Structures are given as structure tokens and as C-alpha cells.
């Protein structure tokens, strides 16, 4: 599927990232509305993807630099062989029914995203597993299922993630470990923020997304977080006000991790970015969609 899909997206000016695996397809793409509808229609023409679910939000600028179509062993890597999310996934809970479920004190609510994502927003009373990678999740379940753990003796578990994909596997894994009542938020946080009015919401903060918007809030409007160009961590307004924040060079999360040599290289890159902005031309890693490459740029003439 990869090359025809890449050609289709290229011919319609689509950018973003698409992941293809035996278990399905996932990704985020951006472009003009008619172009996006054409690509979605082509995908759904494949009988295996006929019921493909998608979510829509608007962006003022193109939130991607290029198109990537990747082949992967797993859409999201858990590292547990022979998982069958289609057959074993937990019970889907529509966004409009989610509040009632997580308000039940007998339900353990687990955020299955990674720690840096949870750090900028989550649901009321949700448990943060403090995982750095999704592949850490099975070990967290093992530990927390033991005496004294948050999952011990708790048959009802509700899980959520950004778009619902990680929950396909996390709920399947819990069911394989003997948990009887396992639920997950259908369409993930994004569908909840798109569907549930802010006045009725149990969500606090912003939701991290894997593109140049960095984070979104209710209505899927772009949030206030930006991204550190040195370590890619999401940065709040308070982070950017820190004395440890130097644009393009360091932030409160990574300031102690860089050698002096790397700091100089990062500073030089930021200087080139600033020069490109002053000249109103493109620099790789900066959204300058309506502009042309700098004449003296090593990337001049390339679509970057």
C-alpha cells in the first residue's frame, strides 16, 4: 500500500505521517479539505478500511513539514507478541458516556500515554503510570496488579489515550491478564474534546499531539504549548518564562543534558532559523509555507 498511498498524497499536496502495519493504519495528515476527502475516500475503498474512523480539526498553518508513509511491525509498539486488538479490545465507551463511567468510584481510570503527554493535561482522578515508552506498560500492569497496587482487586478499569489506538492494545493486554471489565474511550481524548462541551468536561489542561500544533484544547483548537527545538518536550508559558529557557537551545527539561559543543551547534541552528525568518524564506524545521528557500541555503530548491 505504501507507494500508491504516498503518490496519492503527494499529488494532492498532503503532508503528515501515516503508519502502515499488519494490524491496520494510523496517522495524521493535513491539506486542503477536498484533498483530504479524496484521500479518505480512497482509503475506505479498501474493504479492510471501510469503517475507518477519522477526526477533523483546523490549523491556520500547515502543521507538518513533509509527508512520511512508514511501514511498522506495530502501529504503537507494546512488544507483546500475538496480541489481537480486534478480538480482545475492551468495551468502547462513546465520549458522551465517558463522564458517567469515570465518575464511578469503583472504576480505576488509567491514562496510558507517556509521562510527558500526561504532564500537560489529563482527566480528573486519572492514574499516571509514569511510563517513558508504551512498551513499559506491561511491566506497570504486572507491578500494580500485585498486593497493594492500584489494579489489585479492581475488576473495572477504564483507559484512554490520544486517539484511541494505544487503548486497543492496552485494553487487550489487560483482558489477557484476567481483567473482566475493561473499557476505553472511543476515539480517544481528541474525540472527547471535539464532542463534549467544555462546560461538561472532566478534562483539565491540553492534549499533546504529534505535529507542530504541539497541543490542542476543547474544540480541537490549538493550545498554548510550544515545543523545545532541542529536546522536543512540550513547553508551557511558565516553561518559556524560565531563565533556563533559551529558544532553540535549551529548556527547563533539558538544560543540564547538553554539552557545550552541542549548545553551540543548537545556538547556530537557531541563528540560521532567525536569519531565515528575517529574510522571509524557509528554513528546515520552521513553518514558512508561503515562502521560498533562502538563496544561500543548502536546502534551496528542495521541498522541505
Alpha-carbon distance of 185 to 262, in angstroms, equals 42
Catalytic residue among 9, 161, 207, 251: 161
Q: Sheet of 24-30: strands edge to edge?
A: 24-30, 15-21, 67-71
Q: Is 156 helix (H, G, I), strand (E, B) or coil?
A: strand
- Alpha carbon 106 to its chain's center: 29
Is residue 207 part of the annotated active site? The answer reads no
Q: What are phi and psi of 18, to 5 degrees?
A: -125, 135
Sign, Cα dihedral of 69, 118, 141, 131 = positive
With residues binned 3-state (H G I as helix, E B as strand, rest as coil), the percentages for the chain, rounded to 5, are: 35, 20, 45
Nearest to 98 by CA among 179, 164, 172, 170: 164
Nearest to 18 by CA among 65, 68, 62, 64: 68
Contact present, 185 and 203 (Cβ < 8 Å): no
Residues assigned a catalytic role: 161
Amino acid at each position: 500500500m505504501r507507494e500508491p498511498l504516498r503518490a496519492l498524497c503527494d499529488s494532492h499536496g498532503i503532508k503528515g505521517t501515516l503508519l502502515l502495519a499488519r494490524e491496520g493504519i494510523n496517522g495524521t495528515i493535513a491539506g486542503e479539505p477536498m484533498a483530504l476527502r479524496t484521500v479518505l475516500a480512497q482509503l475506505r475503498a479498501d474493504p479492510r478500511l471501510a469503517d475507518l474512523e477519522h477526526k477533523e480539526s483546523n490549523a491556520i498553518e500547515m502543521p507538518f513539514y513533509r509527508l512520511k508513509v512508514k511501514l511498522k511491525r506495530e502501529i504503537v509498539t507494546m512488544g507483546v507478541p500475538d496480541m489481537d486488538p480486534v478480538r480482545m479490545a475492551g468495551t468502547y465507551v462513546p465520549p458522551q458516556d465517558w463522564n458517567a463511567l469515570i465518575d464511578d468510584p469503583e472504576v480505576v481510570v488509567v491514562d496510558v500515554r507517556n509521562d510527558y503527554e500526561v504532564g500537560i493535561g489529563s482527566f480528573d482522578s486519572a492514574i499516571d503510570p509514569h511510563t517513558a515508552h508504551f512498551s513499559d506498560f506491561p511491566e506497570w500492569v504486572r507491578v500494580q496488579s500485585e498486593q497493594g497496587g492500584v489494579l489489585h482487586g479492581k475488576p473495572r478499569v477504564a483507559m484512554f489515550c490520544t486517539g484511541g489506538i494505544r487503548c486497543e492494545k492496552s485494553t487487550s493486554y489487560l483482558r489477557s491478564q484476567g481483567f473482566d471489565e475493561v473499557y476505553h474511550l472511543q476515539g480517544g481524548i481528541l474525540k472527547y474534546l471535539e464532542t463534549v462541551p467544555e462546560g461538561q468536561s472532566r478534562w483539565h489542561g491540553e492534549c499533546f499531539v504529534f505535529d507542530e500544533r504541539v497541543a490542542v484544547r476543547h474544540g480541537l483548537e490549538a493550545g498554548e504549548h510550544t515545543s523545545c527545538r532541542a529536546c522536543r518536550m512540550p513547553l508551557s508559558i511558565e516553561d518559556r518564562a524560565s531563565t533556563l529557557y533559551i529558544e532553540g537551545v535549551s529548556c527547563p527539561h533539558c538544560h543540564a543534558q547538553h554539552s557545550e559543543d552541542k549548545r553551540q551547534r543548537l545556538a547556530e541552528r537557531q541563528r540560521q532559523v532567525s536569519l531565515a525568518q528575517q529574510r522571509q524564506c524557509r528554513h528546515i524545521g520552521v513553518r514558512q509555507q508561503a515562502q521560498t528557500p533562502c538563496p544561500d541555503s543548502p536546502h534551496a530548491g528542495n521541498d522541505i
